[in-house]
Each structure stands twice: as structure tokens, then as C-alpha cells.
Amino acid sequence: MKLLNLNISFEQYAGIHELAEKDSALCKLSEQALSGSYSPYSKFRVGTAVRLASGETILGSNQENLAYPSGLCAERVALFSIGASYPNAVIESMAITAQTDNFEILKPITSCGGCLQVMAEFERKQFSPIEVIFYCLNGEILKVPSVQSLLPFSFVEDRLGAKA
């Protein structure tokens, strides 16, 4: 038996004012994306802004449905939109934020496991890391250099894509 350890490095910022301009701008766009959220059941709005290597930014917001499994998280809305409209695009960075009228969000929200797996697939497909910024409105910000940092044991099965 071996005991192994995993460590991740991430940056922590007290607020948006500490970020570089391009990251601050991406966070502000994720905040704008909140307005597209359809969340009448949870009242928990999530917005994502994804910066492509081309300089273009794609927004996504969570979309709920009365049949709960039929909804989709903001991250996947944005990523699947990119996959459908810009299939060869390279993603540089994404910012994710949340807001609710029911309580004050005091820490950055992080992506769910399903979103992390989709993010990992995009990172794997483009052979380069995707920087992820978790932005708490009026609060702390966490920044990781790669989705791999967040999901080191993502599902990978190379034989599924292999040609017979």
C-alpha cells in the first residue's frame, strides 16, 4: 500500500479590486449573466462568463425546470453553447458567480460535480488548461489555474474514442 497526497494551488483575493483588469472584466460579465437566469424555484441565480482565446466572451446562466433534473447549470449552458457554435474554440478562462434574494452569499460558490466533469472534458479536448475564477459578489474570490486542480480524478476512458 502507498499513501499518496494531492495538493492544489489556488489564488485568493479579498475582492474584485485586487484582480487583473481582464479577470475583473470577466467577473463583471459573469455578474451580467445573472440577469438571464431562470430560477423561479430555487431563486438561486448563477452566472458564468467564458473568455475564448479569440477574445470573445460567452455568457451562461442557470436554467431551472419544474421537473428538476431537466434544468441546467450556468457553466454547462455556456460550455455547450460554445461547443455548438464554436466547436474549435479554445477556452482561456471562466468566471462563475451567484446571487439570491433569500440570503447573503458570503463565500464564492463552486461548480457542481457534473459541471466539473464537463469543464474537464473541454480542457482535455483543447489540450490546454482552463483558468477558473469563483467570484463572490462584494467578497472573496478564488482562482485556480486549471480544471484538473478541481477534479484530479475526472472520468477518462481513452478507449471510448479509439477507432476499431
| Chain centroid to CA 66 | 24
Residues 6 or more apart in contact with residue 23 via CB below 8 angstroms: 93, 95, 133, 143
Looking at residue 139, its pLDDT comes to: 95
| pTM for this predicted structure | 0.94
pLDDT classification of 163: cutoffs 50, 70, 90: low
Looking at residue 160, its pLDDT comes to: 75
Give the torsion sign (CA, 147, 148, 154, 157).
Answer: positive
| Predicted confidence (pLDDT) at residue 164 exceeds the cutoff of 60 | no
**Could you report the per-residue pLDDT of 2-50, keeping only the tens digit for each?**
999 999 999 999 999 999 999 999 999 999 999 999 999 999 999 999 9
Residue 52: all three cell numbers together:
475564448
Looking at residue 136, its pLDDT comes to: 98
**Could you report the per-residue pLDDT of 58-101, keeping only the tens digit for each?**
999 999 999 988 999 999 999 999 999 999 999 999 999 999 99
Looking at residue 162, its pLDDT comes to: 61
Looking at residue 46, its pLDDT comes to: 98
The three-state secondary structure class of 36 is helix
Q: What are the structural domains of the chain?
A: 21-149 (3.40.140.10)
